[in-house]
Amino acid sequence: MPRKRRPSSAVSPDLRARLSSEDRRDLADLDADLDRHRRDVERGAVCPPHLEHVDREAPGAGALWLNLDAGGPVPPADVERIAARLGMDGPALEAALGALRRAEAVADAPGGVVALPPGNVPF
């Protein structure tokens, strides 16, 4: 999952100087929560609610879906690398991809696998 900008980076130096100590602490807490969530996603500890049924069928499918780049096709070698990082072997990867295909959460495309948004929600 690509690293996203931290909320604190959007605060100008002038505004940062005017923040109360409590506001600065809240902003730092938000940054830390987002970093923690990103690390959890990267290690496969998070499954989106709309894919919980898929994750029960094929453990790790939800984490795999979260780690696929939503911007375009992910080449097979990259999918295998992501799966390996999540601790999935070949059969587990095939089971996860099969379950995600049946749930219409991924699709095959020229050049690899494409992660599809839930329902009609664009990324």
- The C-alpha angle with vertex 27 and arms to 23 and 31, in degrees rounded to 5, equals 170
Q: Where are the domains of the chain?
A: 12-42, 49-115
- CA-based diameter of the chain, in Å? 55
CB 97 within 8 A of CB 113: yes
Residue 22 has pLDDT above 50, yes or no: yes
Q: Looking at residue 48, what is its pLDDT?
A: 76
For residues 1-11, average pLDDT: 69
Q: Looking at residue 64, what is its pLDDT?
A: 92
- Cα separation, 81 vs 85, in Å, equals 6
pTM confidence score: 0.64
pLDDT digits (tens, 9 = 90+) for 29-46: 888 888 877 776 666 666
pLDDT digits (tens, 9 = 90+) for 43-78: 666 677 788 889 889 988 988 998 887 778 999 999
Q: Looking at residue 41, what is its pLDDT?
A: 66
Q: Looking at residue 1, what is its pLDDT?
A: 44
- The C-alpha angle with vertex 64 and arms to 114 and 77, in degrees rounded to 5, equals 65
For residues 21-29, average pLDDT: 90
